Amino acid sequence: MSRIAIVTKDDEGNPEIAFLVAQEMASEEVAAVIGSTFDGTTKVSIHVYEEYGIPVISPYAQKTEISKMGNIFFRMVMNNEQKIENIADFIKNKINPQKLILINNREEYSIELVDYLREVLSNYGIETQKPMSIKMSEEDVTVIAENLLIEGPDTIFFCARYNELASLMTKAREIGLGSRFITETLGMDDKIFVLADAQYVEGLIAIIPEPPSLARYSQDPRAVNFWRDFSNYLSQMDDSDISIDGPGLYAPYCYDSVFIIIEAMKRSNSISPKDYIDELKTTSYDGLVGHIEFDSNGDRVNPLSTVFIVKDGAWTRY
């Protein structure tokens, strides 16, 4: 029986430090790495771990191209393209709009998301006009709403923050535009009910890149027990540096990462990366984050999103 020691290091979210941390990890001959927290720090680290054949399990990094940078990378969260593909799947299979207008808020994240969404929808046979690009702080929201009213879409996808959604939906409803509004993570926030009358945001749909087992209102027994055990453990710690009162968004992905590594080691009867990495590639594990399998790039196979809709002034499961 082998004992596993946990080694922790802080790259401070700095790519230069992350590169040095990766070298330290390699020199210490670690068997696997869980991290780093950011896309940039993950990118610079992969080359080091690739050289030494050390598997990297990422519970955080979402940039799609990272998984193509080496054969030792495995991703626990869905990548950015998968997130958008899930949005497109919902629009096609659940909404099937007759006329869909896509809107970005001129920020890079929003532009890239909307452009790729348009591409995927086109592949599904849903054609849309060139996306609208609006900056709410610089434009007359009344004019935007009136232009939408003239266009007459039955569905509008707006990748924007909740305050921007609140402003546009309020004006749209006031002038009689009854289009269905859909958004994603940026737009799902309870503070939208402070900025807009509940009647104006009724029916707003948000598609979130979290599995049903973890997303808001989850009653999944394993997730509930994890949250309870994590919180109880924190309450027993006497450490002034720890200020959180429960598991963070990515804690379950980290938790499952440990177990898929251990299971791969068990199946290969070895803690050596060169022995167990093939078993890691064939992972089939039911964790807190749902069923975990990896494709040839180390990305999750069919990761699930969760859909919410505003009903009676509150977010509810769709």
Identify whether residues 239 and 279 lie together within a single domain: yes
Which residue do the tokens 């193509």 mark? 68
* Domain end point (choices 186, 208, 230): 208
* Domain end point (choices 177, 208, 239): 208
Identify whether residues 149 and 198 lie together within a single domain: yes
The residue range of the domain holding 193 is 81-208
Identify whether residues 141 and 174 lie together within a single domain: yes
Q: How far is CA 181 from CA 75, 93, 95, 177, 316, in A?
A: 31, 16, 11, 11, 15
User: Could you tell me which residues come within 8 angstroms of residue 274 by beta carbon, excluding any fewer than 6 positions away?
Assistant: 53
Report the C-alpha gap between 56 and 71 in whole angstroms.
Answer: 9
Structure tokens at 70: 């080496």
Report the C-alpha gap between 63 and 139 in whole angstroms.
Answer: 31
Q: Which of 300, 223, 294 is nearest to 255 (CA)?
A: 223
Identify whether residues 113 and 179 lie together within a single domain: yes
178 located within any domain: yes
Report the C-alpha gap between 123 and 118 in whole angstroms.
Answer: 9
Identify whether residues 97 and 191 lie together within a single domain: yes
307 located within any domain: no
303 located within any domain: no
What's the confidence (pLDDT) of residue 234? 84
Report the C-alpha gap between 116 and 184 in whole angstroms.
Answer: 14
Report the C-alpha gap between 169 and 164 in whole angstroms.
Answer: 8
CATH of the domain at 255: 3.40.50.2300
146 located within any domain: yes
Identify whether residues 231 and 281 lie together within a single domain: yes
121 located within any domain: yes
- Determine the 3-state secondary structure of 316 from DSSP: strand
Number of domains in the chain: 2
Identify whether residues 191 and 288 lie together within a single domain: no
Tens digits of residue pLDDT in 70-97: 899 999 999 999 999 999 999 999 999 9
* Domain end point (choices 184, 208, 232): 208
What's the confidence (pLDDT) of residue 245? 73
What's the confidence (pLDDT) of residue 243? 64
Residue segments in the chain with a per-residue pLDDT below the cut of 50: none
1 located within any domain: no
33 located within any domain: yes
Identify whether residues 199 and 234 lie together within a single domain: no
Identify whether residues 95 and 178 lie together within a single domain: yes
309 located within any domain: no
Identify whether residues 85 and 200 lie together within a single domain: yes
| Helices and strands in the chain, H and E counts | 11, 12
Identify whether residues 124 and 21 lie together within a single domain: no
Identify whether residues 164 and 176 lie together within a single domain: yes
What's the confidence (pLDDT) of residue 233? 86
